């Protein structure tokens, strides 16, 4: 910035950062007119959002932030209260110092907000009843009551701080900090010191309440019989929402791994939702419901969605946040280039605007990183649970197969179901969300490109449309080859199983060479040749989609140069190149998505056919309890059962049965050998044994 520009900025704003001179700050937060110039806002600056007097938000617009946080606490807080009321108390806990201290802090903060409300009503006068700022403060008081209830219930029902409470305090501190900065810029401390001090005390109490809720270690004060806690319990079970977002619960393991080599014994136990007994139960429950609806042809896909689709749907929301954030970056880059270019003109933009853009890019990158890691975390968890549930179901099904079912489902097939097909369904969870995310990203990219280069972006769309049929044709071929590949794997598994079961005969008759040739034929001539074909098709798919961004950008820039009258400046080229680079991922990931979905569809059909195979009859054998034989003896009052004679009765019954059987045997023997009675003692001796 040259000397003339600096003098101009100082003359117009009184500051190089763009602030107005202190004698012309406009209206303060507690000022109000006699009538509403704008609906629900009695301040003369109106809703803004930017103040016409200073580089700041208007008083009414600042309270929109406070009202949003209060609405968040009210809505989600009521939901948290409902969920906590349904949750049973995990233990009988006493109200210790930590509990009462945070409740007292909340009560003091609520009292401070009530005092602020009184100042506002006295300042606004007759229009206080309809001013948005008054209703915002009242809504904040109501939300604090809900948060008080959440903190009261969570003490005995949760082992960690509630996420709604933590986010409420964090967002309220951020909104209050923005409001405090505005009050300072308005010099409210010189006009109404009492309100300013009250608001500052409230900000301090909010920070203290947030620190106590988040950073203070919780001592639940368990009384009575204490539950035995597994030392290897996974910390994610009781991690706070911030710890989950930042993966802070992994820090002890990382610290220990830095100092020493980790072994299997050093790892934590699986979290309860990830344990096989829970995943197997969830799958079995969903499978039984599906059999009731569609007994002839149940849908395994719907079963997996019902059993494990909840966390995966939440992962979709994280994916949306990541997609939007990464396409905001090029727009901020365009604004930053425009800000830098403004200093070559006579009207440079304020420095504070460039700082805000830079901080926005940093915050956007931080938000994007958080979202994408949470997305992958839930995707991997869902895949692991799917594999665990399927492995459990396949194993139990293999124990109940009938003879007809075992004739078509060999041991090698069952091993493939658990090792190959279940693994492919686990892998597809990493890419399935891209089925909608990739087109969503492409649409956002095209809209952003339209804002930069206009209708020239249609050339890129034509190139993408031209490549889609090619990819569809390649995907159809790959699906056919994947089915063939799975059949070849089953044939190889059956042959290996046959060789192992008949190893003695093969060695005895020296058939090793013949069986080895047969195995090599299945492996080399069938499996490997088909794998080469699949690899060639995959290479064609990767080439078409990896080259797509280059052809899209080349065609777009060529049409722009030929049709547009304006030059391609840095404000157009660099954001456009950033968008084209972002376009590379959705275009490149589509082949992997299609391949994974093709493999998963084959795996689903195979596992479904196995789970629907014929089972043994569960009621074929009916095992009843053994009857008790009790001797009855007469008495004066009737027949009395003597438990002590039960054993003697059983022995007498057994002896009678033996004598009866012996007599029947001798009669039959006399009929068979009537002329040889001297043989009877020999048979009697044998029979007696």
The residue to which tokens 């945070």 are assigned: 102
Instruction: Give yes or no for a contact between 437 and 315, defined as CB atoms under 8 angstroms apart.
Output: no
Number of H helices, E strands in the chain: 24, 2
**In whole angstroms, what is the distance from residue 556 CA to residue 568 CA?**
12
372 CB-near residues (< 8 Å, 6+ apart): 318, 319, 322
Residue 569's φ and ψ, nearest 5 degrees, are -85, 175
Q: How many CA atoms lie within 13 A of 199 on its CB side?
A: 27
Which residues are CB-neighbours of 127 under 8 A, at least 6 positions away? Answer: 32, 33, 34, 35, 36, 42
Q: Which residues contact 236 (CB under 8 A, 6 or more apart)?
A: 244, 249, 271
Token pair belonging to 22: 């202190």
pLDDT at 597: 86
> Tokens 């219930």 identify what position?
153
- The tokens describing 689, both together, are 């044994």
Query: Residue 562: CB partners within 8 Å, gap ≥ 6?
Result: none
In 3D, which of 241, 230, 232, 73 has the Cα closest to residue 143? 73
How far apart are the C-alpha atoms of 394 and 417, rounded to whole Å?
A: 8
Angle (CA) 333 336 339, round 5°: 155
Report residue 259 CA to chain centroid gap. Answer: 31
Secondary structure, 3-state, 555-576: HHHHHHHHHCCCCCCHHHHHHH
Residue 259 CB-density burial (10 A; 0-12 exposed, 13-18 middle, 19+ buried): exposed
Q: How far apart are CA 458 and CA 374, in angstroms?
A: 35
Report whether the peptide linkage leading into residue 49 is cis, meaning its omega lies within 30 degrees of zero: yes
* Helix ranges, 129-275 (H): 132-157, 163-185, 188-191, 193-214, 241-246, 251-259
User: What are 121's two structure tokens?
Assistant: 């009503």
- 364 with 325: CB under 8 angstroms? yes
Helix residue ranges, H only, 215-343: 241-246, 251-259, 276-293, 300-341
CA angle 523, 529, 530 (to 5 degrees): 95
DSSP character at residue 397: H
pLDDT value at position 666? 52
CA angle 316, 378, 386 (to 5 degrees): 105
Q: Which helix (H) or strand (E) holds 640?
A: strand 638-642
Kindly state the tokens that stand for 533.
């074909």
Say how far apart CA 183 and CA 178 lie, in whole Å: 9
Exposure string for 401-439, b = 16+ CB within 10 A, e = fewer: beeebeeebebbbbbbbbebbbbbbbbbbbbbbbeebbe
Which among 602, 270, 285 is positioned nearest to 421, based on CA atoms? 602
Token pair for 304: 């997996």
Neighbours of 201 (CB within 10 A): 15
Distance between CA atoms of residues 224 and 462, nearest Å: 72
Residue given tokens 């919780």 in the structure block: 218
Distance CA 612, CA 605 (A): 11
Sign of CA dihedral 490, 493, 495, 497: negative
pLDDT number for residue 72:
93
Q: pTM above the 0.85 mark?
A: no
CA dihedral 265, 268, 271, 277 (to 10 degrees): 10
Closest C-alpha among 142, 177, 153 to residue 71: 142
CB 11 within 8 A of CB 104: no
Q: Are 525 and 488 in contact (CB under 8 A)?
A: no
Long-range Cβ contact pairs of 5-10 (< 8 A, separation 24 or more): 5/343, 5/346, 5/348, 8/346, 9/348, 9/350
> H-helix or E-strand containing 483?
helix 457-501
d(CA 206, CA 228): 36
DSSP-derived letter for residue 222 is B
**φ, ψ for residue 485 (rounded to 5)?**
-65, -40
Quick one: which of 194, 240, 249, 183 has its CA closest to 215? 240
Q: DSSP class of residue 42?
A: -
pLDDT along the chain (689 residues), means of 10: 46 44 54 68 75 76 89 92 78 71 91 90 72 86 92 82 90 92 83 88 93 75 45 79 88 89 86 88 91 87 91 92 91 90 83 87 92 92 92 90 80 84 89 89 87 84 77 78 84 85 86 87 86 87 77 84 82 84 79 82 89 79 68 49 44 46 52 50 47
- Ramachandran assignment for 223, one of left (phi > 0), alpha (psi -120 to 50 degrees), beta (any other): beta
Residue 218: partners with Cβ closer than 8 Å, 6 or more residues away: 98, 159, 160, 161
């Amino acid at each position: 910035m040259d000397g003339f520009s600096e003098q101009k900025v100082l003359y117009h704003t009184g500051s190089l950062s763009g602030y107005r001179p202190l004698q012309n700050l406009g209206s303060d937060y507690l000022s109000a007119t006699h009538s509403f110039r704008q609906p629900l806002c009695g301040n003369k600056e109106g809703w803004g959002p930017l103040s016409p007097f200073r580089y700041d938000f208007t008083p009414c617009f600042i309270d929109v932030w406070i009202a949003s946080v209060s609405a968040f606490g009210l809505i989600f807080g009521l939901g948290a209260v409902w969920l906590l009321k349904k949750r049973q108390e995990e233990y009988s806990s006493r109200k210790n110092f930590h509990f009462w201290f945070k409740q007292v802090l909340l009560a003091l903060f609520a009292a401070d907000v009530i005092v602020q409300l009184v100042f506002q009503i006295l300042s606004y006068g007759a229009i206080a009843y309809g001013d948005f700022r008054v209703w915002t403060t009242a809504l904040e008081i109501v939300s604090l009551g809900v948060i008080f209830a959440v903190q009261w219930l969570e003490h005995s029902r949760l082992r960690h701080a509630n996420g709604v409470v933590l986010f409420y305090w964090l967002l309220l501190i951020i909104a209050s900090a923005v409001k405090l900065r505005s009050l300072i810029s308005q010099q409210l401390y010189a006009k109404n010191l009492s309100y300013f001090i009250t608001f500052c005390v409230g900000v301090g109490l909010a920070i203290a309440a947030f620190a106590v809720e988040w950073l203070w270690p919780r001592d639940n004060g368990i009384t009575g019989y204490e539950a035995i806690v597994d030392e290897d319990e996974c910390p994610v079970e009781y991690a706070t929402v911030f710890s989950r977002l930042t993966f802070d619960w992994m820090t002890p393991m990382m610290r220990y791994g830095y100092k020493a080599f980790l072994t299997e014994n050093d790892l934590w136990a699986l979290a309860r939702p990830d344990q096989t007994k829970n995943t197997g139960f969830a799958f079995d429950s969903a499978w039984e419901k599906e059999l009731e609806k569609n007994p002839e042809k149940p849908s395994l896909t719907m079963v997996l969605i019902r059993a494990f689709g909840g966390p995966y749907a939440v992962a979709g929301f994280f994916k949306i946040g990541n997609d939007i954030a990464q396409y905001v970056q090029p727009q901020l880059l365009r604004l930053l280039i425009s800000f830098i270019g403004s200093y070559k003109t006579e009207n440079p933009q304020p420095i504070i605007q460039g700082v805000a853009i830079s901080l926005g890019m940093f915050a956007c990158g931080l938000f994007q990183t958080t979202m994408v890691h949470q997305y992958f975390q839930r995707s991997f968890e869902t895949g692991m649970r799917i594999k665990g549930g399927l492995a459990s179901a396949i194993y139990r099904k293999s124990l109940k197969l009938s003879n007809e079912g075992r004739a078509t489902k060999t041991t090698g097939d069952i091993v493939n179901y658990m090792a190959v097909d279940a693994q492919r369904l686990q892998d597809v969870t990493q890419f399935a969300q891209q089925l909608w995310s990739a087109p969503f990203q492409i649409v956002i990219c095209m809209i952003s490109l339209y804002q930069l280069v206009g209708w020239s972006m249609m050339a890129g769309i034509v190139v993408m449309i031209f490549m889609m049929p090619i990819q569809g044709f390649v995907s159809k071929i790959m699906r056919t080859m994947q089915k063939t590949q799975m059949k070849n794997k089953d044939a190889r598994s059956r042959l290996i199983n046959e060789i192992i079961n008949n190893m003695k005969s093969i060695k005895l008759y020296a058939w090793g060479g013949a069986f080895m040739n047969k195995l090599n034929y299945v492996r080399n001539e069938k499996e490997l040749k088909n794998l080469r074909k699949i690899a060639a098709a995959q290479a064609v798919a990767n080439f078409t989609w990896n080259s797509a961004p280059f052809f899209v950008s080349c065609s777009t820039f060529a049409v722009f140069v030929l049709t547009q009258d304006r030059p391609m400046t840095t404000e157009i080229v660099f954001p456009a190149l950033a968008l084209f680079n972002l376009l590379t991922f959705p275009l490149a990931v589509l082949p992997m998505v299609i391949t994974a979905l093709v493999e998963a569809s084959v795996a689903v059909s195979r596992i479904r056919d196995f789970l629907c195979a014929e089972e043994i009859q569960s009621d074929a054998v009916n095992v009843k309890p053994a009857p008790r034989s009790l001797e009855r003896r007469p008495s004066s009052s009737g027949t009395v059962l003597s438990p002590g004679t039960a054993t003697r009765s059983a022995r007498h019954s057994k002896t009678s049965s033996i004598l009866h059987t012996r007599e029947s045997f001798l009669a039959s023997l006399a009929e068979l050998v009537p002329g040889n009675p001297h043989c009877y003692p020999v048979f009697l001796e044998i029979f007696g044994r």
